[in-house]
Structures are given as structure tokens and as C-alpha cells.
Amino acid sequence: MDCEVVAIGTELLLGQIIDTNSAWIGEQLALHGINCRFQAKVGDNVDRIVSAIRIALDRSDAVICCGGLGPTQDDLTRQALAAVMGVELTFDEDRADLIRWMFRGRNRRMPDNNLTQAYRPAGSEFLETQPGTAPGLRCPVGEGGKQVIYAVPGVPWEMQQMVSVEIIPDLQRRSGVTSVLRSRTLRTWGESESGLAERLSERISELDELGNPTLAFLASGAEGLKVRITAAAPTEEEAVELLAAEEQLLRGLIGDFVFGLDDQTMEAVVLAALRERHLTLAVAESLTGGLLGARLSAVSGASDVFVGGVIAYTAQVKREQLGVPDGPVVSEETAAAMALGVRQRLGADVGLAVTGVAGPTESEGRPVGTVCFGVALGDDVSTFELRLPGNRQAVRELTVISVLDALRRRLTI
Amino acid sequence: MDCEVVAIGTELLLGQIIDTNSAWIGEQLALHGINCRFQAKVGDNVDRIVSAIRIALDRSDAVICCGGLGPTQDDLTRQALAAVMGVELTFDEDRADLIRWMFRGRNRRMPDNNLTQAYRPAGSEFLETQPGTAPGLRCPVGEGGKQVIYAVPGVPWEMQQMVSVEIIPDLQRRSGVTSVLRSRTLRTWGESESGLAERLSERISELDELGNPTLAFLASGAEGLKVRITAAAPTEEEAVELLAAEEQLLRGLIGDFVFGLDDQTMEAVVLAALRERHLTLAVAESLTGGLLGARLSAVSGASDVFVGGVIAYTAQVKREQLGVPDGPVVSEETAAAMALGVRQRLGADVGLAVTGVAGPTESEGRPVGTVCFGVALGDDVSTFELRLPGNRQAVRELTVISVLDALRRRLTI
């Protein structure tokens, strides 16, 4: 089963938007044993969209078109699909009602042109999954519909839901893929890619011999360094067994750096560890300005552990709100006072604090990237200082995962 | 003059690397008046690379191949180009010496396989520009070489130098293009894409007649909705004049929703407006958990305006730290109390507060997406309630830009 991706939008060709959707879809297809040998980008022009889709159909069994399903004049995917199928666009009262209903639910006036989204090529069907106001499409082509074109919106979260929930399972049914591909990702923090590769070098050579399972390193910045295991087997069970055995083996070699699996973020892991111990958490942030709290509260159900925090961006707020003593604010002493102060102030069990120099310029004579951390469990506070690489944004993000990892280690090791 | 981009590398199709090179090249081509109507991604396979290049040559005058020029076995661009040209690869002693010389200059031992990079298709020539150890190629095709294929490495800084210094001028010479293309982006908030399209529909039809300048809508989630004007003219000055005139005209139609231009983010605009008025800002965040402060403090130099805030994630913190009275926390009353409370508490001129339901489940019987805002200028506080679409992440991000826009309007309108 070969499936191509055609990303639609002049803004992609002009480089105004980076096409991350195609990469995400390509990864999902690969993880589910479906080949993606070509991907194309084309602008908002019916003839060129049609020609890009036809070229893809000449080579592959399926095509996923991404983008161009909005309500405006430069959203032309519906027309292009009708042309490829050689049919007219038909108005779907049923889906029109759904769209009207969605706007009502949001107390938003629906501009009339939104109803253009209720048109579909005759013989096609709308995807059931519709997270936003733009419906997705399934268009059978070739005799007996032996080929298929899917159309999804360019909005990432809408696209991702349609692909995961409906399109991938659909493609697997059609392909009758017997051997299943499964993968598991070990998420690590605290060791470089080359460092991990060194620790795993023997096993990597062994796996190069075996050919299955395979390993891949995925550097993911402030999300940590991911080590992905991919295993192929006749059945799901056997694939999962292979993954479990390999995970066991890898943990023996690099377990000290593994903080989570697959979609487990550092913040989710830390919240779970606190929840398990019936501990609540408060944060005090200087250079991160709220980023630490933002990441913690991004996790659903964080509120039973994370009570809140104080963004002490200026020295005055640090002293008045957190009782930080006079002296340099980029110091372990200040980090300790912030962690204890916010914990007591907000009545939490654990206090986490960061202060430092995000840049672009140095501060208090300390270079950009200098960060001090405070971790207070009750009144027992530990502090440390790090020098982080990168620009303002990188320093702020690396600060967040570094201090969370420090708390994780105090709780679990 | 049409020029396509073919990005080469299996890792691109697998989504292990995001293809930012094609976007960058597309932008450069557009800025220099060269059309880029298609872009393709293909894996490390000679036959498929050849077919991707042939398809591009059927449609366009020039092709830029990006990637696959390294020294390893899966670097196959050279072979593919030779196949497309129907010639052999020839060894170039001269370029081999350059490569040897570069390694010596870096005191690095040269692995033998690096000399494979000194092979070029017979009849092609190496690009003069060579920032790294991988040479780029210029391959004439078609009778009298009326078409051309360029090959550049996938390493961004090497690719960018070859494209800017040698390939773009080369393409402009070939096309005899004298016209320049310039664009300007109006960043808007508060009206849907279809709503803006409705307000602009007359002008859009006029421009469709004229053909220059052109308009494009770029939905950018919590970054707002962008309206990009692109103008072509014989000179830079005339292009900029066209842009200025069109901006004027569009502001007359949708100016009420325009908050910034090009790279100006909402947070940067709000901070600038406060700075101009010598006002300081404090934030009180419930459902956003720090995201509002994080976005404000992401702007370099925010600290002269943004003093900090209180992350009041639980009801208890709201009441104890911000003096919020008893009663439902998802309410305009609570938002008002939070805004006034944080402003007084942190001694800021302006207080901004958000409380609401991020999801995944409803709270206090209020549906997901219900958000209440408080904007306190001194003791004069205004509040309002919105119902935002999307999942937890979308609701949180839309909350941040919505409340910042509310403050912007209070300050500037």
C-alpha cells in the first residue's frame, strides 16, 4: 500500500508557512506500515492541484490532500477533487446543519460562505470525524474505487484527528497489511545524542545485523532526546513482545536517563510522581515568566497537584511577594528563597523555583544561559546552577525541563 | 521562469526531519520574481529521484535538487542526475583537490569516500560557491541546455549560500527577469477568515482583475489571521509603493481588526503600547496557568513593562492571593477581582486576568471554552466573557491572544 501526501497552499510554496503537516502524516504512515514514497506541495490553483493529484494517483494507491478546505475563494481542494473524479459538487444539507450547529454552539455568527464547506464531489463522502468547522472528504477513484483520495484541513489539530481516528485505520483495512509495525519511544534527558549512541553502540551493531527491531534517535530539543524502537511482527502481540524485550535491554544501558515513554512528557511524569505521593506543587518563576506553570497546566487534570505560582519577573516582586533577601537575584540563594517562599505562600508541599539570564544580554555580570534552580520538599531545599546553551527561547525552554527533571530525580531516585 | 524544488531524503518522508529548505528556497525564488509552482519530496532511491526530476522538467524551466550530495551510500543525487542527462559520472581531479585541501585546512583526516563528491555528470559543472565539503552542481538539460537542474546539499547554511550567491542570480539572468516581488502582512484578530473575506470580497475581485498586487489569507491559530499583500514591480521602490497603497486601502476596510504588521506579535504590540504610555503590567492566570506571562516574557526587553503575576490555578489561591470573593470562579466577577487583585498586589498600573474552562471536561456546569476576562487600568476594570473553540491547548492559546487584544483595544482605540 503506497499513500502520497499532497499539501495544498500557495503560502507553503512561498515559504510563509513551513509544511509540518506532511512530515507528521509521513511519520504516521510509516509507523503503521504504509509506504509514503512521494510528497508534493502545490499552490491554490485548481488545474495545478488536479495535475498534482493525478501524478500521485499514477504512482500510488491512495492520496491524502492537506489544506484548501476552508470557506474562502482560495480554498480550491473541493473543486479540484470533483475535476479529478469527473463529477459535480453537490450540496449536503446534512453536513450544512452540522456546520450551522457548530457556529451556534460557539455563539458565533456564521458567514454565509462557510456553507461552501458543505459541498462535496458527487460520489464522495464526508469523513465522520470533524473537530472543526471544515469537513474532511473520502473520494473513491479508479474502477470499483480501488484507489482513494482523502482531503483534510490544513489546521494541524483538525488534520491530525482525522488522520489518526479515521484515515489510517481505513488505509490499513484497504491494504490488508498482515505484518504489523509497532514502535515505542524511550524519552531521555541528561545525556547527549552522541553520548547515548556510545552507551548503545554494541546493541546498535547487533540490531544492524538482526534488522528487527530497529532504533532511531530523535533529538527533540526541550522535549528531550527520544530513542524510538520499531518492531515488525506477524501479530500485534508479537510486535509488543519484541518492543518490551528491547525496552528492558535498553533500560539496562541508559535507564538512568529515561524519564518517560511515548507521549509521556516530563511535566506529565512529574505531576504523576507528585500525585502518587499526595504532594501539591507551587512554582516561582523569574526568567521563564510563566513557561513552567504553562507546561504543567497544559496537562489535563493538573489541578489536583499544581496549585499555582508566582511570576516574579522583577527583583521587587521577588522580594515583596516571595521574601527574597537583598543581593544578586541570579544566585542559588535567591532560587532557594523563591522555592521556600512560594511553597509557604501558596500552602503547597513542594516549591520549584528558577532564576537566571535568558538573554539576549548578560545580567548582574552573569552570562546568558546562567540559570539557578531551587527545589523545596517541605522546608528541605536543594539548589544548583547550570549554564544552558542557545538563544533566549532555548534557554527558557531548557530551564523548564531541567528543573522538572531535578524534581523528578529527587522524588524517584 | 518557473523553478521547482525537489527535496531528497527518506528522513524527510518519514517525518524525522522537517523540510525547511524547500520553504526557504521558495521564499527566495518568490522574492526575486521567479515562480515556484510545485515542490516535491522523494526518498533516497535513484529511480524515484529520476522520476521526480523528470516530472519537474516536464512542467518547469529549472529544478533545484536539495540533499543527497553527501559521501555516503544513500547519497544518490549525483547518480540520478547522470541518469536524467543520460551521461556517465566523471571524476573531477580539480574539485577533488579542493576537497582534500578543505579537510587539511580543518586539520581533519579525510575519509576516502569523501572523494565520491568529486564525481559529476559529464557535461555538468560544479558550482563555484562551496561553503562546505559537498560541491553543488549545475546541469544543463534539453536542447541547447534551455533547461537547467541545480543540485545543492541539504545542510541549510551550505544550501542557502549556494542559492543566494550563485543560483538566484543565474536564474534571473536566464529569465531576464527585472521585476521584483515584495510582500507585507497585515496581522488581524477578532474576525474569522470567512468574515474578513466577506468584508474584502469586492477588493479581492478587483485584484483578481488587476492581477497585481495579490492577497492571501494565512490562518495562524493563536498568532492571529494574516492577510498578505504581494506586489510585483520593476523596482523595489515601486513595489513598496504598491504595498503601502494597498495596505492603506485594506486598513480602510478591516483596519479595526489589524493589530500589527509582518513579524509583530500581539504580545510585542501590547508591550510597546504600554511602554509608550509608561504603564507597567501584572497578570493573574487561572486556566492559562502561566501561558500569558510566558508569551509576554518571551519578548526581549519585556521586563521594563511586565513585572510578573500570580498563577491562581486553584480556587483557594484565587481567594487567598488575589482576594477573590466566594462564588463561581468562572465568572466576570472573579475575573474583575483577579485583575484588580494582582494589580494592587504587585503594584502595577495595569492588571490582566483570565479564568475559564480549558477542558477536557466542563466545570461549574460551564462548557469547555467558556472564558472570562478582566482588564484593569488603575481601578477601572472592564470584563467580558467569550466561548472559544478547540481542544484544551487551543482554548488556552486563544485565551491569551484574546485578552491581550482586549487590552490593546482599551489602550489604543
Enumerate the residues of chain B whose CB falls inside 8 A of the CB of residue A324. none
Q: Which long-range contacts (CB under 8 A, 24 or more apart) does B272-279 make?
A: B273/B408, B273/B411, B273/B412, B274/B305, B274/B350, B274/B411, B275/B304, B275/B305, B277/B411, B279/B305, B279/B349, B279/B350, B279/B377
Q: How far is CA A284 from the centre of its chain?
A: 26
For chain A, positions 362-391, list CB contacts with chain B under 8 A. Answer: none
Helices A193-210 and A236-254: crossing angle in degrees, nearest 10, is 140
Q: Which amino acid is at A412?
A: T
Which of A15, A26, A302 faces B13 most closely, judged by CB atoms? A26
Q: What ipTM describes this predicted complex? A: 0.77
User: What pLDDT is attached to residue A220?
Assistant: 76
For B3-175, the fitting CATH number among 3.20.20.30, 3.30.2350.10, 3.10.20.30, 3.40.980.10 is 3.40.980.10
Secondary element (H or E) of residue B57: helix B46-59
User: How far apart are the CA of A38 and the nearest CA of chain B, in angstroms?
Assistant: 5
Residues of chain B where predicted confidence (pLDDT) is lower than 50: none
User: What pLDDT is attached to residue A166?
Assistant: 96
- Inter-chain contact A106–B387, Cβ cutoff 8 Å? yes
**Ramachandran angles phi, psi of B76, nearest 5°:** -120, 10
List the A380-387 sheet strands across, edge first. Answer: A380-387, A370-377, A350-356, A281-285, A306-312, B306-312, B281-285, B350-356, B370-377, B380-387
Any idea what DSSP says for residue A106?
T
For B266-411, the fitting CATH number among 3.90.950.20, 3.40.462.40, 2.60.40.3710, 3.40.50.1360 is 3.90.950.20
Q: Is B207 on the interface with A (CB under 8 A)?
A: no
Residue A115 DSSP SS3 = helix
CA–CA dist A340, A318 (Å, integer): 12
For B180-261, the fitting CATH number among 3.40.47.10, 3.40.50.2300, 3.20.20.70, 3.30.70.2860 is 3.30.70.2860
Cα of first residue to Cα of last residue in chain A, in angstroms, is: 46
User: What pLDDT is attached to residue A178?
Assistant: 66
Sequence spans of domains, chain B:
3-175, 180-261, 266-411
For chain A, positions 317-346, list CB contacts with chain B under 8 A. Answer: 317, 320-321, 345-346
Q: What is the pLDDT along chain A (413 residues), one digit of tens a residue?
A: 999 999 999 999 998 889 999 999 999 998 888 999 999 999 999 999 999 999 999 999 999 999 999 998 889 999 999 999 999 999 999 999 999 988 887 777 788 888 999 999 999 999 999 998 899 999 999 888 899 999 999 999 999 999 999 999 999 999 887 677 788 999 999 888 778 888 998 998 999 899 899 888 877 778 888 998 989 888 889 999 999 999 999 999 999 999 999 989 999 999 999 999 999 999 999 999 999 999 999 999 999 999 999 999 999 999 999 999 999 999 999 999 999 999 999 999 999 999 999 989 999 999 999 999 999 999 999 999 999 988 899 899 999 999 999 999 999 87
What tens digit of pLDDT does each residue of A113-125 get? 889 999 999 999 9
User: What pLDDT is attached to residue A125?
Assistant: 97
Enumerate the residues of chain A whose CB falls inside 8 A of the CB of residue B314. 303, 307-308
Hey, how many other C-beta atoms are within 10 angstroms of the C-beta on A223? 14
Cα of first residue to Cα of last residue in chain B, in angstroms, is: 46
Enumerate the residues of chain A whose CB falls inside 8 A of the CB of residue B16. 27, 216, 218
**Substitution target from A5, A8, A16, A160 for chain B, most B beta carbons within 10 A:** A16
Listed residue (A68, A33, A31) closest to A150, CA to CA: A68
Task: Please report the DSSP string for A171-240 in residue order.
Answer: HHHHHT--SEEEEEEEEE-SS-HHHHHHHHHHHHHHHHHH-SSEEEEEE-GGG-EEEEEEEEESSHHHHH
Which of A30, A55, A313 faces B306 most closely, judged by CB atoms? A313
CA–CA dist B322, B337 (Å, integer): 7
Q: What percentage of residues in chain A have a pLDDT greater than 70?
A: 99
Contact A185, A227 (CB under 8 A): yes
| Residue linked to cell 530539543 | A221
CA–CA dist A337, A90 (Å, integer): 67
User: How far apart are the CA of A176 and the nearest CA of chain B, in angstroms?
Assistant: 21
C-alpha cell, A5: 501526501
What tens digit of pLDDT does each residue of A236-247 get? 899 999 999 999
User: What pLDDT is attached to residue A123?
Assistant: 95
Any idea what DSSP says for residue A167?
I
C-alpha cell, A394: 532555548
Size of interface A-B (CB pairs under 8 A): 281
- Inter-chain contact A310–B307, Cβ cutoff 8 Å? no
Q: Which residue of A has its CA nearest to B34?
A: A14
User: What pLDDT is attached to residue B194?
Assistant: 87
- Inter-chain contact A13–B36, Cβ cutoff 8 Å? yes
